[in-house]
Structure formats: structure tokens, C-alpha cells
């Protein structure tokens, strides 16, 4: 798949995910649907944030970076996942009244160390 097709497809799917999240937000009552409503809310938001963070991260990386484009796509998608995991975990903790600053700090540190692991142990490509 070419880079242009990837970005176009990712943009369209991200827009669909944001639309799905808005539909869940405005048309699903969590009191009546129970757990299904919460799962739909968090899952659609998770996918929308992954897409948005990946596209934005890719654009920033291409303008600032010197690595190959396929490496930029891989890194931006992985880091988009981490950002999405962070936001969803924070929202779930807040919804359960368990969010404290040290929880957020530990989550950030865990995700940073996880990303550092991937950055240092990844395959090495010749540029």
C-alpha cells in the first residue's frame, strides 16, 4: 500500500470513528444500555484517538525526522496506541473515582518505558 493510500484510508477511518463516538455520545444512554454503552463509548473513542494521534504524529515526524517513511508510519502508529491507552485509562480511572496524580504518573512512566523498549530493541534498518 502506498503512503498516500494509507494516509487517505487512515483519515477516512478516523473520521468514521469520530462520527461513531459522537453517535454513541449523543444517542446512547449509559443508564439503559449498561456495560455495552460504556464499551461502545470507550472503544470508539480509543479508535478515534489512535487514528488522530497517528496521523498527527506522522505529519510531525515527516517534517522533523530523517528516518525512512515506513519507519515513521510504524512509530507514529505505535505511539498513537500509547496515547490512546493513556487517555482511555485516565477516563476509566476518573469514572471509577480512582484517578490520582500518582496513578497518572505511573501510567505515563510505564508507557514511556514500554516505548523506550520498542525503540531500543526494534529491528535496525539501513538508511
pLDDT tens, position by position, 43-61: 999 999 999 999 999 999 8
Domain boundaries, the chain: 3-121
Structure-block grid coordinates of residue 71: 519507519
Distance CA 68, CA 117 (A): 20
Through-space distance between the first and last CA atoms of the chain, rounded to whole angstroms: 20
Distance CA 118, CA 127 (A): 19
pTM of the model: 0.86
Q: What is the SS3 string spanning 73-105?
A: HHHHHHHHHHHHHHHHHHHHHHHCCCCCHHHHH
pLDDT tens, position by position, 65-116: 777 787 888 889 999 999 999 999 999 999 999 999 999 999 999 999 999 9
Amino acid at each position: 500500500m502506498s503512503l498516500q493510500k494509507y494516509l487517505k484510508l487512515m483519515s477516512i477511518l478516523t473520521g468514521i470513528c469520530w462520527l461513531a463516538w459522537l453517535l454513541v455520545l449523543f444517542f446512547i444512554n449509559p443508564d439503559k444500555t449498561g456495560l455495552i454503552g460504556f464499551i461502545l463509548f470507550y472503544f470508539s473513542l480509543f479508535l478515534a484517538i489512535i487514528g488522530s494521534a497517528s496521523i498527527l504524529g506522522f505529519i510531525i515526524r515527516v517534517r522533523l525526522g530523517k528516518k525512512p517513511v515506513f519507519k515513521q508510519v510504524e512509530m507514529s502508529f505505535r505511539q498513537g496506541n500509547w496515547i490512546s491507552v493513556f487517555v482511555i485509562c485516565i477516563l476509566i480511572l476518573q469514572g471509577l473515582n480512582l484517578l490520582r496524580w500518582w496513578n497518572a504518573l505511573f501510567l505515563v512512566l510505564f508507557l514511556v518505558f514500554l516505548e523506550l523498549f520498542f525503540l531500543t530493541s526494534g529491528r535496525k534498518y539501513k538508511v
